Amino acid sequence: MRKGILFIVSGFAGAGKGTVTKQIVKEDEHLKLSISATTRDMRNGEAEGVDYFYVTKDEFQRKIKNGELLEYAKYGDNYYGTPRDYVKKMLDEGNDVLLEIEVLGAAKIKASLPKTVRIFVTPPTAEELKNRLVGRGRDSAEDITRRLNRAVDEAEDIDDYDYLLVNDTVEQCVKDLHSIVEAERMKVKRQVSFISAIKTQLQELNKEE
C-alpha cells in the first residue's frame, strides 16, 4: 500500500491555519489532521483524541525521555507535542496527514522526516494580518503587538518551506491547499508501484502482439 504524505502547515498567528485545515479534512477522506499531546486542561467543548491527547506532566516527560514525540514545545506552563506513533500509524495506513505546527517544530520534524512537505500560510498583507488579530477579539493590544513582533522573526523562515499559501478567502485557500495536496500525490517519486505496474503491463502487451 502507498504510504501517506506528511504535510506541515505553519504560519503567522491569525493567518487562518486552523480554519483552513479543519475545512480541508472534511472534504478529503484520505487526509487526516494530526492530534497533539498536551498537559493543559481540557476546555469546554473539547474531547480526548479529538482536540488533543490530554496527559499529565509526568506522562509527558516520560514521552520525551522515551523518544515518543516527533517534537515538543513549552508555552507558559504547558507542554505540547506531536506523538510519533500516532503520526506513523496514520501514514502507514495510507492516509496523508496534516500537522499544524509552528516554525521551530516544523524544522525539527523535517530533520527527522525529510520527505515532509512544508506549507507556510500568510494573509495577503501584514495590514490584513493585524486586522484579523484585532478582529477575532481574542488577544489584548499587548498580545497583538507581541504576535506581530514574532511574525517578523517567523517570516525569516518562510524560505525553508516548500509552498507559500496566501489566505485571502477561506474558500480559495482551502482549494489552493487541496491543489498542493493533489500535486504532491502525483509526484513521480510517490507513484513507484503504479509506474512499475504499467511497465510490466506494457511488456506483457508487447509479447502478445
* Minimum distance from residue 145 beta carbon to a second copy (Å): 5
Nearer to a second copy, 52 or 161 (CB): 161
Kindly state the smallest distance separating residue 158's Cβ from a second copy, in Å: 5
Which of 95, 68, 65 lies closest to 81, judged by CA?
68
Q: How far is the CB of 182 from a second copy (least distance, A)?
A: 4
**Cα 71 from Cα 107, distance rounded (Å):** 9
Shortest spacing between CB 193 and a second copy, in angstroms = 11
Comparing CB distances to a second copy, the nearer of 77 and 127 is 127
d(CA 32, CA 90): 8
Contact between residue 145 and residue 104 where contact means Cβ atoms under 8 Å apart:
no
Structural contact between residues 131 and 40, judged by C-beta atoms closer than 8 angstroms: no
Q: Which residue lies nearer to a second copy by CB, 109 or 177?
A: 177
Q: Which is nearer to a second copy, 59 or 157 (CB)?
A: 157
- What is the closest distance, in whole angstroms, from the C-beta atom of residue 59 to a second copy in the complex? 37
Length of the chain: 209
User: Which positions lie near a second copy, rule CB under 8 A?
Assistant: 120, 122, 125-127, 129-130, 145, 148-149, 151-152, 155-156, 158-159, 161-166, 176, 178-180, 182-184, 186-188, 191, 194-195, 198-199, 201-206, 209
Q: Specify whether the CB–CB gap between 1 and 94 falls below 8 A.
A: yes
What does the block give as the cell for 180? 498542493
Query: Three-state SS across 28-78?
Result: CCCEEECCEEECCCCCCCCCECCCEEECCHHHHHHHHHCCCEEEEEEECCE
| Sign of the C-alpha dihedral computed for residues 43, 47, 53 and 55 taken in this order | positive
- Of the two residues 73 and 180, which places its CB atom closer to a second copy in the complex? 180
